[in-house]
Amino acid sequence: MDFNHSEERRMLQETLHRYLSDNYDSEQRSASVSQGQGYSEKVWSDFAELGVIGVLFAEADGGFGGGGFDIAVVFEELGRVACVEPLMASGVMAGHLLSALGNDEQKALIEEVIAGDLKIVSALEEPQSRYDLDAVETMAERIDDGYRLNGTKSVVIGGPSADKLIVSARGEEGLLLFVVDADAAGVERYSYPNLDGYHASDIALVNVEVPASARLGASQVVLPILEAARAAGVVALCAEAVGAMEAAKDLTVEYLRVRTQFGRALGKFQALQHRMSTVLIEIEQARSALINVAGHLSAEPSLRDKHVSAAKNLIGRVAQLVCEETIQLHGGIGMTEEYALGHYAKRLMMIDHQLGDVDYHLERFVGVMQTEAVREIS
C-alpha cells in the first residue's frame, strides 16, 4: 500500500497549484465566466504549456499520464479555485473516446488537443436520457457515402467553445459515435452559462451529413467504451469536488475563527464545532472514495463501475452536506455572490447533475451488490 503520489505527479500538482494561486483569482474567474464561450484563451494556452492537458493522456497518445491519479491531481487543484475552464469536457471524456476508438487520423487530433489548439467535447446525453448513456434517440441514417444525423444533445458542458463534437447516435448497426465539426451545416448550438459558471450548449443536429470516415470505432461495440470514458469523467468530477470541498471547508473554518457573536468567536460554540467536525469527517470519506475510484480506473469493468457508482454516490451526498453546512455556518455572507463560498457550493451541487446523480448511482451500485451477494452465497 502506498497513499503517496509519485514524484512527477506531486511536481505537476505543485506547478498547477502555484499557477492557479498566482493567476486564477476571483477576477480571472469572473472574466472567464463572463466570456461568451466561458473560458479564457490565455488560461487555456497556459494549461497546455504547463502540461495540464498532456497529463490527461497516455504516452501512446502523446501525453505523459492518463491514469486515474493523473486526472485526480489536476482536477483537485481546479476544484480548489472553482475553475470554470472546460478541461473535463475536452480533455477527459472525449480524449478517452478518441484514444480508445479512433483510427490513426482521428487519434492524430489528440496532439492538437494536448497543444491546446483544438477542443473536442463529447455530446452524449439527451433531454430524455437521464444520465443513461445507452438511451440515445439521435438517429444516424445511412446515406450513400456516410450518415445523416438528427437529434438533440442536452447541456453539453464546454459546448460553446468546442471545435469538434463527439456525438452518439443510433443507427442500423446499433449505438454509434461520430466526430462532427461543431460548425458543420445543421449543427445548431444554443449556448448559455450554467449556475456554477461553466458554459454549456443544447445542440440540435438537423440533417447533419457526415462522411463514413467520421464514425469513431467503426467496427467496435461502443457502449463499454462509453462507460470507461464516463469512469474517467467521474474521477475528474470527484477530484474536482474534493478540491472544492476542501476550499469551502477552509473558508468556513477561517470564518468561524474570526467572526464573533455574543462576545466570542463562532468557532467556540460547541453546536457549530460539532457540525464542522462532521463536515471534516465526511470530506475524508469523500477523499477515500476518490482514491478508490482513481485507483480502480483501469480495473475490470464491473469492479471499476462499482467504485464509480460508490464514489459518485458518496461524493454527491457529501457535497450536498458540505454545501448546505458551510452556507449555514457562514450565515447570510455565505449566500452572497461576491463571496467565494457560493462558487464552491454551486459547483458542488452541479457536479451531482453530471454523469449521474446520487440516486442514479445508488441504483447502479445496488445492481452490482445484488449480483455479488448472490454469487457469494450460492
Q: Is 332 helix (H, G, I), strand (E, B) or coil?
A: helix
First CA to last CA across the chain, in angstroms?
Answer: 32
- Residue burial 264-302, b: 16+ Cβ < 10 Å; e: rest: eebbeeeebeebbeebeebbeebbebbbbbbbbbeeeee
Segment near other proteins (CB under 8 A); pick from 16-24, 102-110, 175-183, 276-284: 276-284
Query: Which residues make beta-bridge pairs with 193?
Result: 199
- Should residue 229 be labelled a site residue for other proteins when binding is judged by CB under 8 A? no
CB of 162 or CB of 293, closer to other proteins: 293
Q: Select from 190, 206, 257, 260 the one that contacts other proteins (CB under 8 A).
A: 257
Of 69-108, binders to other proteins (CB under 8 A) are 69
Name the one residue in this structure whose C-alpha cell is 463571496.
339
The nearer residue to other proteins, 144 or 376, going by C-beta atoms, is: 376
Work out whether 307 is an interface residue with other proteins (CB under 8 A). yes
**Using rule CB under 8 A, residue 253 touches other proteins:** yes
Written as nine digits, the cell of 122 is 463529447
* Nearer residue to other proteins within complex by CB, 117 or 359: 359
- Residue 288 and residue 344 in contact, taking contact as beta carbons nearer than 8 Å: no
Q: Rule CB under 8 A: which of 30-69 touch other proteins?
A: 69
Complex with other proteins: residue 25 or 284, whichever CB lies closer:
284
180-188 own/partner pairs: CB under 8 Å, 24+ apart: 180/149, 180/205, 180/208, 180/210, 180/214, 182/121, 184/208, 184/210, 185/209, 186/149
Are 140 and 149 spatial neighbours (Cβ–Cβ below 8 Å)?
yes
Please say which residue, 4 or 219, places its beta carbon nearer to other proteins: 4
The SS3 call for residue 307 is: helix
Q: Is 3 in the site for other proteins (CB under 8 A)?
A: yes
Least distance (Å) from other proteins to the CB of residue 16? 18
Residue 13 interacts with other proteins (CB under 8 A): yes or no? no
201/106 Cα distance (integer angstroms)? 24
Out of 270, 332, 337, 338, which residue is the one contacting other proteins (CB under 8 A)? 270
Q: Among residues 103, 128, 220, 277, which is the contact residue for other proteins, using CB under 8 A?
A: 277
359 contact partners, CB below 8 Å, separation of at least 6: none
Give min distance, CB of 35 to other proteins, in A: 36
Q: Which amino acid is at 308?
A: V
Closest approach, Cβ 313 to other proteins, in A, equals 5
Range 311-370, binding other proteins (CB under 8 A) = 313-314, 362-363, 365-366, 369-370
Applying CB under 8 A, which of residues 291, 321, 323, 351 lies at the interface with other proteins? Answer: 291
The DSSP H or E segment spanning 142 is strand 139-143
Instruction: Work out which of 50, 280, 349, 350 binds other proteins, going by CB under 8 A.
Output: 280
Contact call for residue 273 and other proteins (CB under 8 A): yes
75-83, 152-160, 214-222, 286-294 -> range binding other proteins (CB under 8 A): 286-294
What is the rounded (10 degree) CA torsion for 318, 319, 323, 328? 0
Contacts of 121 (CB under 8 A, 6+ apart): 86, 89, 90, 94, 156, 157, 158, 159, 161, 162, 164, 165, 166, 182
Is 31 or 280 the residue whose CB approaches other proteins more closely? Answer: 280
- Of 267 and 356, which CB lies nearer to other proteins in the complex structure? 267
Give the binding site for other proteins (CB under 8 A).
Answer: 1-6, 69, 253, 256-257, 265, 267-268, 270, 272-274, 276-278, 280-281, 284-289, 291-292, 294-296, 307, 309-310, 313-314, 362-363, 365-366, 369-370, 373-374, 376-377
